[in-house]
Chains A and B, each alone.
Chain A
Amino acid sequence: MSTTTETSKAQTEPVPPWRRFDSAAIMILPGIVFMTLAFAIPVLNLVADSFRDADGLTLAGYRKVLGDPYYVGIIWNSLKLGIVTTLGTLVLGYPAAYALSRAPPRLQVLLFALIFLPLSVSIIVKTFGLTIMMRRDGILNWLLVTAGFVDRPIRLVFTEFALYFGMVNVFLPFMLLPIYSVMRQLDPRLTDAAASLGAGPVMTFLKVTLPLTLPGIVAGGSLVFSIAVAAYVTPGLLIGDRYMTMSQVMAKAYLNIRDFNLGASMAVIMLTIAVIIVFASTYFAQSAGRKGGPS
C-alpha cells in the first residue's frame, strides 16, 4: 500500500528541466565529438575532392571510374572479393558457431581463446605466414602432392585461390562471432519442439534454426562484406597487382600518380557501396527480427 502511494507521488511530481534529458543520450556525446573530427570532416573533404580538381569543379573522376571498363572491372573485383569472402566465412563460420554455442561452457572459453588468437596476430605477419605456407616447397603443396591431388607442386602464391584462402582466414572471426551471439540465445527446446512435432533435421534447420539465426548471418555478412570490399593489405600481399581492387586504385591515385580527384571518386563510390550494404542489411535484419528473431 505504502509503495503504491510513493510511486504515484513520484509520477505526479514535476520533473526538473535538467532531468528531462535522456541520460543515455548524453552518453553518446563524446563519441559524436570524436567521430565528427576523425570521420565526418575528412569524409566531407573527400566528397568535395571527388567533385573538383586543380582547375575547379569536375566530374572527370567519376566519368573515369564509372565509364572506363578497366576501372569498372576493378570495382567488380572488389565486389567479387567481398562476396567470395562473405560466402567462404559463412560456410565455415555458421556450423562452427553452432558447435561453439552448444559446447560445454568450459570448452567454450578455450575455443573462444582460439578464435581470438588469430585476431591478435598482426595481419602482416599472418599474411606473410600464408605466403610461406603456399610456396612451392610449402606445407600446402606438400599436402596436395602427398594426398595425390596433384602430381607436382602447383603455383599457389599470387593466385586468386591464395587471395580467397587468405581473406577467409583473416575475416572468419568477424563472421563467427555475430552468428555465435545469436545462436547462443537460440533456445534448444525450439529444436526439441520441432522434433517432437515430427520435423526431421533438414526441416528443423530450414524452418526453425535458420530463420531464427538470420539476424546473426546478416550482421556477420554485412560486417565481413564491408571490410573485405575495402581490404588493402591482404590482397596487396597475397596477389598484388594481378588482382586490382578499389583500395589499391585509391592508394596508387593518392600515393603514386597524385590524382586526388580519381582517388576521391573511387573512395566515394566505395563508401556508397558500403553504406548501401549496411543499410540494406540492417533493414533486412530488422524485418527478419520483426518476424521474431531472438533480438
Chain B
Amino acid sequence: MSSATAAAASEPVNPRDERYLEVTGVTKRFGATVVLEALDLAVGRSEFVSLLGPSGCGKTTLLRLIAGLLKPDAGRLHVDGDDITRLAAHKRNIGVVFQNYALFPHLTVEQNVAFGLLAQRRPKGEIVAQVDHALGLVRMKAFADRRIAALSGGQQQRVAVARAIIVKPTLLLLDEPFSALDRKLRETMQIELRHLLRDLGITSIFVTHDQDEALVMSDRIAVMNEGRIEQLGTPGEIYRSPSSLHVMEFVGQSTRLAGAVESVSAGVAEIRTPLGVIRAPVGRMGARVGEAVVFGVRPESMALGDRADGDFNHVRAELADIVFFGAKTALHFKAPGVDDRIQAEVARVPAGLSPGSQVDLRWPVTETMVYPAP
C-alpha cells in the first residue's frame, strides 16, 4: 500500500489533478457575521486534506459549502474542472460522513448502505452485490440485518463510511467523524479509514479540531482561523515551521516566550528576554531591531544540559512539575519574569531531579520559532 503511494507520488502530476477540487474566493455570511472571507483552497486528486481549527473557525461551513448543503455568497467551486457552484447537493455526487453519522434510524445497516444506489435507480442485483462489497470493505458484513440503534459508535461509523463510498463519490467529506469515539477506538479507526481511503484513491476533506488526528491522517493540513486558511502544508511543515503564532499554538505543544529584538545579523536575531539573550532565525519574518516578538520552542527540542555553543540557546530555570505520560515525561519549569511554564520532554527523568531543582536547558537555535508580538 505504501509502495503504491510512493509510485503515485513519483509520477508526473497533471496540473488538473493538482487542482482537483478548487475553491476560489468563497465568502459566506450568516447575517452580519462573516464566516468565510474570500477563501481559496486547492486539493489534489486522491489527496487527504484536513481542515483544522478551533470551533467557529468556519471549517464545517466550508465543508457544507463544498457538499452543497449551503450556498456561498461569493466565489466558485470546481471539481475536476466542472463548476459545481450552482449545482444542488443531490446532483454533486459528493459523499459526506457526518459528525453523528446521520444514519437512517428506520433502516437496517444494509438498507442504509444501499440508499445511494437506490437513489441512482441501479438494478437490484447490482445493489445487492455492491452493498455486500462495501460492507466487506468496512468489515461489517455480519451486521447487514442489524438496526442502527443496535450498533456501537465504531460500527455506526463504519456503516456511515460504507454508505458514503458506495456511490463512488467524486469527493468524500468527513465532518469530525471520530469525535464520538473513545480514544483507543479512535486511534484504530483513524489508521483503518486512512488505509481504506488511500486504497480506494478517494479525494477526501476531513474536518477536525483535533490536531493529533490531523497530523496522523493528512497528506496536507489547512489550519483555519476566523474564516481564513492560515497555513496549508504537510503535517511536518505545519508542525516544524508554523507560519504564525496561532498555528504554532494550535498545533502541538510549545513554550511561548516574549522579548525584543536587539540585533539582526545573517538571518539570526538576538532577542532580549527575562531569561537572557535568545537567538532565533528570522527567515520569514524579517525582524527589525527594537521590535517586540514572541517565540516558541517545542518541548521535544528542549534538552537538559548547558552546552550553550553557537548552535544552541541556553536558559536556567526551576523545575516545577514532573508529569508522567508513560513513554515520555513532561517537565514543567518556571523562571522569573516568565508567565508561561517552560516545557520539556524527556524519555527518562535523570536521577536527583525533583521539583525545586535549578536546571540548565538548551535547544537548537534553528528550532526557535519567532513571530511578531500580537
- Write the residues of chain A forming the contact surface with B, with a CB cutoff of 8 angstroms: 187, 189-190, 192-201, 203-204, 207-208, 211-212, 288, 291-294
| Contacts A208-B104, A212-B105, A292-B106; A196 near B94 (Cβ below 8 A) | yes
CB interface residues, B 243-295, toward A, < 8 Å? none
B107 in the interface, Cβ–Cβ < 8 Å?
yes
Determine if B119 is an interface residue (Cβ-Cβ < 8 Å): yes
Asked if B307 is at the interface of the complex by the 8 Å CB criterion, the answer is no
Instruction: Give A208 to B90 CA distance when docked, in angstroms.
Output: 14
Residue B143 CB within 8 A of the other chain = no
A189→B102 contact, CB < 8 A? yes
Jot down 26 A-B pairs with beta carbons below 8 A, ordered by A: A189-B100, A189-B102, A190-B102, A192-B67, A192-B69, A192-B98, A193-B96, A193-B98, A193-B102, A194-B90, A194-B104, A196-B67, A196-B173, A197-B115, A197-B116, A198-B116, A199-B90, A200-B119, A204-B90, A207-B104, A207-B118, A212-B105, A292-B104, A292-B106, A293-B105, A293-B106
Contacts A195-B69, A197-B90, A207-B104 given; 16 further ones with Cβ under 8 A? A187-B102, A189-B100, A190-B104, A192-B102, A193-B102, A194-B90, A194-B119, A196-B67, A196-B90, A197-B116, A197-B119, A198-B116, A199-B90, A199-B116, A207-B115, A292-B147
B→A interface (CB under 8 Å): 67-69, 88-96, 98-100, 102-107, 115-116, 118-120, 147-149, 163-164, 167, 173
Residues of A within 8 A of B88 (CB): 195
One of B90, B94, B115 near A200 (C-beta < 8 A): B90
The distance in angstroms between the C-alpha atoms of A160 and B89, with both chains bound, is 46
Q: Which residue of B lies closest to A212 (CB)?
A: B106
Judge whether B148 and A196 touch: CB under 8 Å: no
Which chain A positions have C-beta within 8 A of B92? 196
The answer to whether A196 touches B119 (Cβ under 8 A) is no
Q: In the complex where A196-B67, A197-B115, A212-B106 touch, is A292 in contact with B149 (Cβ < 8 A)?
A: yes
Cα–Cα distance between A190 and B112 once the two chains are bound (Å): 11
Whole-angstrom CA separation of A200 from B90 in the bound complex: 6
Q: How far is the CA of A215 from the CA of B68 in the complex (A)?
A: 30
Cα-based distance from A200 to B148 in the complex (angstroms): 23
CB neighbours of A187 from chain B (8 A): 100, 102
B104 touches A199 (CB 8 A): no
Residue of B100, B116, B120 most packed against chain A (CB within 10 A): B116
Tell me how far the C-beta of A215 lies from the nearest C-beta in chain B, rounded to whole angstroms.
10
Q: Are B148 and A198 in contact (CB under 8 A)?
A: no
Contacts A189-B98, A189-B100 given: A194-B115 contact, CB under 8 Å? yes
Q: Do the beta carbons of B164 and A196 come within 8 Å of each other? A: yes
Q: Which residue of A lies closest to B94 (CB)?
A: A196
A211-B104 Cα distance, complex, nearest whole Å: 10
Give every chain B residue within 8 A of A201 (Cβ-Cβ).
Answer: 90
CA distance A207 to B111 in the complex (A): 11
Selected from B105, B118, B167, the residue in CB contact (under 8 A) with A294 is B105
Roughly how many angstroms separate A287 CA and B4 CA in the complex, as a whole number? 50
Task: Give B173's nearest chain A residue, CB to CB.
Answer: A196
Identify the 6 closest CB pairs spanning chains A and B, nearest first: A292-B106, A197-B116, A292-B105, A189-B102, A195-B89, A193-B102
Question: Nearest Cβ distance between residue B344 and chain A, in whole angstroms?
Answer: 32
B115 and A196 within 8 A (CB) = no
Known: A187-B102, A292-B106. A203 touches B119 (CB 8 A): yes
Q: How far is the CA of A193 from the CA of B105 in the complex (A)?
A: 12
